[in-house]
Amino acid sequence: MEEILYSKKTNPTYENFIAICPYCDFKNIFNRATDLKDSNPIGFKTVKCLSEKCEKSFNINGDLVSPAYQMLIFDCYDLLKEKKYSYCILNLAQAFEVFFSLYLRIKLIYKPFAIQRGKTRVNELNEIIKFLYEAIKKYPYLKIRNIFINFL
């Protein structure tokens, strides 16, 4: 059986995992949600080249393990190189929203959970996280920003 090669050139972003096929040098852009069906960091995954001429399987790894808000900020470097300034501003605003949401989860859920030292069961914790998510998911930027500032 033939050994499956690894992509030597990858570029993980918040939304996509870009990998050059080691067989045909095709630039594959795998969307995390639609192509990979996984938003978790990739330590190892076998994928299929998206080039119709190749379609060989190869391995990818080396994902970033940064929080989502940082990955959105990192994406701005490429946007600035491409002179896509408005997209960069949108990414930064989204990074702030993600950061505010993370802060609220830590402040309202994780810290109190840690203080109780495990008295709350994990499934109860997951329900509380889901409740907070549902409560704030439709908040516009200014409202979630103001909530964040009021907690400081």
112 dihedral zone (left: phi>0; alpha: psi -120 to 50; beta): alpha
- Residue range 24-81, pLDDT digits in tens: 999 999 999 999 998 889 999 999 999 999 999 999 999 988 899 999 999 999 999 9
Crossing angle of helices 85-105 and 122-136, rounded to 10°: 140
Crossing angle of helices 141-151 and 85-105, rounded to 10°: 40
- Residue range 42-58, pLDDT digits in tens: 999 999 999 999 999 99
To the question of pTM greater than 0.85 for the whole model, the response is no
C-alpha radius of gyration, the chain, whole number? 19
Q: How far apart are alpha carbons 132 and 124 in whole angstroms?
A: 13
